[in-house]
Amino acid sequence: MELKTSREFTRLGWLHYDHSLYFISTTEKNWTASRDDCLERDADLVVINSREEQEFVSRQAGNQWFWIGLSDGDTEGTWKWVDGTIMTSSFWRRGQPDDYGGEDCVVTSLGDDWNDVSCADQYRWMCEKVLVLDHLEAELNKEVMREEAPQIYHRPSSMTVSVGDTATFSCRARGRPQPTIQWLLDGRLLETDGTDNRSASVVRMDEENLVLRGVRSGVETFLCMATNSAGTANHTAWLFVYEVRPDGWLHYNNSLYFISTAKKNWTASRDDCLERDADLVVINSREEQEFVTGQPGDHWIGLSDRDTEGTWKWVDGTIMTSSFWGHGEPNDYGGAQDCVATREGDGWDDERCAAQYHWICEKV
């Protein structure tokens, strides 16, 4: 059947973005079967050509993994798209690809980048049909004129800085018409002329960028708000500001933190903290987790299940209630991962207690 308008594609479940149409499956198949389904739809598994397209695809994926049209099945280590082109730009998640056990096909998901997995695994998939017919493009361009609520595609990231440093937040949004961006500080709208009479810092703004100078110790909440005639979207980020004491400890919130420069196993790291009249850090909130992962490198924290497998306890004797595990963790790989490290800019990972990492001490 010849399809003449984008509405006909929409009724069949296709989404329009930029110059392509996308079909998102509701069932799961292996990579080859998923590609066959796309080919039957006169399409192919999605080929990702830009950061913007990667963000679009990952938003559609939600919290599930989706096949994309990338593999190194022909030649190990040579990643090729289904259209025959060699991968040039990539969006691998941290530590990937690792070809663990022979992983030749690629998936992606919301808030995460690419991961190589076995092509025999079962996942949902996304097909892409590149628009080439003039009459289809003309029809779709008409629909572009419709209003579209804002979507924040470049989100401001939480930052950890020391007193007196400069902090910069950036926020980008798309929509129809193009959204305007405003910044809120601790729930209060900042002045649009780029000035503010707060004594804590001097604020400069050029709408999409927010620059703070002379920040002081504490936690502040910044919200990027994108608005157009179709609606509003927002995203929150935190600024964690610590004070460096003469003895090398960082003062943040109600605790002092010592960040090691050496690496030791979990037990030796804890012994070092105890010698400093402290202990390995106990993370009690999302804000403290963001502060800890803002430190360069991977660090031991004061969490383990060494006493009872699967019962995670902090060094102060309390049972873990809130958690910030990374994707797929804890997995107790090899049956010997009983201590926890947190990854820079990421979540927790259970590791062998004998592994060597930096560590963070906390003194309340």
If DSSP codes are grouped into helix, strand and coil, which group holds residue 203? Answer: strand
- Which of the listed residues 243, 276, 299 is the one where a domain comes to its end? 243
What is the pLDDT, as a whole number, of residue 193?
46
- Spatial distance between the Cα atoms of 42 and 82, rounded to a whole number of angstroms: 13
- Does residue 1 lie in a domain region? no
**Residue ranges making up the domain that contains 94:** 6-144
Q: Are residues 20 and 98 in the same domain?
A: yes
Total domain count, the chain = 3
Mean pLDDT of 107-115: 80
- Does residue 59 sit in helix, strand or coil? helix
Q: What is the pLDDT of residue 316?
A: 94
Q: Which of 110-119, 144-153, 277-286 has the lowest mean pLDDT?
A: 144-153
DSSP 242-295: EEE-TTSPEEETTEEEEE-SS-B-HHHHHHHHHHTT-EE----SHHHHHHHHTS
CB 125 within 8 A of CB 25: yes
Least reliable range by pLDDT among 50-59, 65-74, 236-245, 258-267:
236-245
- What pLDDT, on the 0 to 100 scale, is given for residue 21? 86
Instruction: Say if residue 272 is in the same domain as residue 284.
Output: yes
263 or 22, greater pLDDT: 263
Query: Which percentage of the chain shows pLDDT scores above 70?
Result: 85
CA dihedral 244, 247, 250, 254 (to 10 degrees): -120
Can you tell me the distance from the alpha carbon of 267 to that of 120, in angstroms, rounded to the nearest whole number? 40
CA distance 294 to 362: 15
Same structural domain for residues 158 and 126? no
| Res 196 pLDDT > 50 | no
Report the CATH number that the domain containing residue 11 is assigned in CATH.
Answer: 3.10.100.10
34 or 27, which is more confident?
A: 34
> Residue 12 — pLDDT band, cuts 50, 70, 90?
low
Cβ neighbours of residue 157 under 8 Å, at least 6 residues apart?
Answer: 169, 237
Indicate if 17 and 123 belong to the same structural domain.
Answer: yes
Q: What is the pTM of this model?
A: 0.45
- The 10 Å Cβ neighbour count of residue 103 is 19
